């Protein structure tokens, strides 16, 4: 059974990342910490309305009051270096970070779109750093809950999520705009298998069962060169422009735009006017890149993936699962209307 005790401090395997390189997603991080706290309380049979205000019991033996915590955390083991995990998931397609630095520079993390076009599998690095950043926090929050109520010497049981990832778990993808990406499948049967010998009653899973996708998105920003024209530019109520128009008249109850000679001026759509400006003034285009996660329970994928979460829960009816049900922008309500929802959900 793959597991690792959290009794001993976790040794540092990699140099700390510079602050600017650390993934920033406070909403997700706060949610997962709350999830871990809930799991920690469930493991001792206590789920009050305000976890931070739990009074410590007067009894000397706290375990007689709360019982022995019975919690398993399935999450990323922070003791396993990211590069090792990426190598495990990519196999022969693995590429070293040193090669990315050599080809794309020390700031290669700002060039994921460019990297993804040449080495799409290398986006697994971005996935790991963006999605797998909370395993240690989840364990720490759970143990902090127990410490607050007097069970400070108790440790959560951690089953490394890395053990279910292999070359069959990862595939390269593209979105509708041809942005490169990777799709990572958290297979329900593999989750069931790693819990086969687990003795605990509560399982915390701060990941989504099913396929989670990451895309490297290219953003094109255009800047017009030269000075803008100082001539008057008239615009109608629909947003169309009339270059060269100097006056407005009415003909058959319709506005008519006229130039200096009294001739009618045809409307120009905002898109066509922008193209004219680019041709006349020139344009400087700047490319930037960002990464985005599309969770397993997004609008287009929830109907397919939610039953996979239920599959894990059904395999162990005596366990309580505290699981991540969505990320920012995801809404399960429509999917739940379309699938058979188990009574335990």
Summarize pLDDT for 145-191 with one digit per residue, the tens: 666 656 566 667 888 888 899 999 999 999 988 999 999 999 999 99
Q: Taking the CB of residue 323, how many other CB atoms lie within 10 A of it?
A: 17
Beta pairing class for 233-235 and 241-243: antiparallel
Is 277 among the domain residues?
yes
Please tell me whether the overall predicted TM-score, pTM, comes out greater than 0.75 for this model: no
Q: What percentage of the chain exceeds 90 in pLDDT?
A: 31
Phi-psi region of 170 (alpha: psi -120 to 50; beta: other; left: phi over 0): beta
- Across 126-140, 183-197, 321-335, the highest mean pLDDT is recorded for 183-197
Average pLDDT, the chain: 77
Q: What SS3 class is residue 289?
A: strand
State the total domains in the chain. Answer: 2
The pLDDT of 93-103, averaged and rounded, is 94
Same domain, 87 and 174: yes
Is 345 among the domain residues?
no
Same domain, 148 and 251: no
d(CA 111, CA 115) in angstroms, rounded, equals 6
d(CA 201, CA 42) in angstroms, rounded, equals 9
Specify the pLDDT at position 67.
53
Is 171 among the domain residues?
yes
User: Measured at the alpha carbon of residue 25, what is the angle toward residues 170 and 7, in degrees to the nearest 5?
Assistant: 75
Tell me which of 243, 260, 281 is where a domain ends. 281
The tokens for 85 are: 């995990």
Same domain, 237 and 322: no
Is 106 among the domain residues?
yes
Is 35 among the domain residues?
yes
Is 344 among the domain residues?
no
Least confident of 38-42, 109-113, 149-153: 38-42
Same domain, 173 and 264: no
The pLDDT of 122-132, averaged and rounded, is 90
Residue 139 has pLDDT above 80, yes or no: no
Helix (H) or strand (E) holding 251: strand 247-251
Residue 323 has pLDDT above 50, yes or no: yes
281 vs 181, higher pLDDT: 181
For the chain, state the CA radius of gyration.
Answer: 28
Same domain, 302 and 237: no
The pLDDT of 107-125, averaged and rounded, is 93
Burial class for 171, CB neighbours closer than 10 Å (0-12, 13-18, 19+): middle
d(CA 66, CA 45) in angstroms, rounded, equals 7
Tell me which of 263, 281, 299 is where a domain ends. 281
137 vs 182, higher pLDDT: 182
The tokens for 106 are: 């020390």
Domain extent at residue 116: 4-221+290-338
Is 308 among the domain residues?
yes
Residue 251 has pLDDT above 90, yes or no: no
- Candidates 221, 215, 222; CA nearest to 113 is 215
d(CA 249, CA 259) in angstroms, rounded, equals 11
Same domain, 179 and 42: yes
Is 108 among the domain residues?
yes
Same domain, 127 and 173: yes
Same domain, 238 and 202: no
Same domain, 248 and 262: yes
pLDDT band at 343 (very low <50, low <70, confident <90, very high): low
Q: What percentage of the chain exceeds 70 in pLDDT?
A: 71
The pLDDT of 23-45, averaged and rounded, is 47
The pLDDT of 310-336, averaged and rounded, is 82
Same domain, 57 and 89: yes
d(CA 312, CA 74) in angstroms, rounded, equals 13
Specify the pLDDT at position 179.
93
Residue 59 has pLDDT above 50, yes or no: no
Same domain, 56 and 138: yes
Residue 44 has pLDDT above 80, yes or no: no
Same domain, 204 and 273: no
């Amino acid at each position: 059974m793959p597991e690792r005790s959290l009794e001993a401090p976790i040794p540092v395997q990699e140099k700390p990342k510079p602050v600017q390189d650390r993934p920033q997603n406070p909403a997700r991080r706060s949610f997962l910490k709350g999830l871990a706290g809930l799991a920690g309380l469930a493991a001792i049979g206590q789920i009050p309305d305000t976890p931070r205000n739990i009074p410590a019991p007067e009894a000397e033996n706290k375990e007689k009051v709360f019982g022995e915590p019975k919690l398993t955390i399935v999450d990323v083991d922070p003791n396993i270096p990211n590069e090792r995990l990426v190598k495990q998931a990519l196999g022969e397609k693995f590429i070293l970070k040193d090669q990315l630095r050599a080809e794309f520079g020390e700031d290669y993390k700002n060039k994921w779109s460019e990297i993804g076009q040449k080495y799409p599998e290398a986006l697994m690095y971005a996935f790991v750093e963006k999605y797998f950043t909370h395993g240690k926090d989840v364990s720490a929050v759970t143990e902090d809950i127990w410490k607050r109520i007097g069970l400070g010497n108790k440790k959560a049981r951690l089953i490394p999520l890395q053990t279910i990832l292999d070359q069959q778990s990862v595939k390269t993808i593209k979105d509708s705009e041809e942005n490169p990406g990777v799709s990572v499948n958290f297979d329900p049967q593999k989750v069931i298998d790693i819990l086969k010998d687990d003795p605990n009653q509560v399982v915390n899973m701060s990941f989504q069962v099913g396929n989670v996708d990451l895309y490297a998105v290219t953003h094109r920003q255009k800047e017009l060169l030269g000075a803008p024209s100082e001539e008057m530019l008239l615009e109608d109520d629909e947003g169309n422009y009339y270059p060269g128009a100097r006056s407005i008249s009415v003909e058959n109850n319709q506005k008519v735009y006229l130039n200096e000679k009294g001739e009618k001026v045809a409307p120009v759509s905002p898109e066509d006017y922008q193209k004219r400006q680019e041709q006349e003034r020139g344009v400087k285009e700047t490319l930037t890149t960002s990464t985005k996660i599309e969770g397993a329970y997004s609008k287009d994928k929830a109907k397919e993936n939610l039953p996979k979460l239920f599959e894990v829960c059904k395999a162990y009816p005596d366990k309580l699962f505290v699981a991540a049900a969505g990320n920012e922008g995801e809404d399960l309500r429509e999917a739940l209307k379309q699938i058979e929802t188990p009574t335990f959900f």
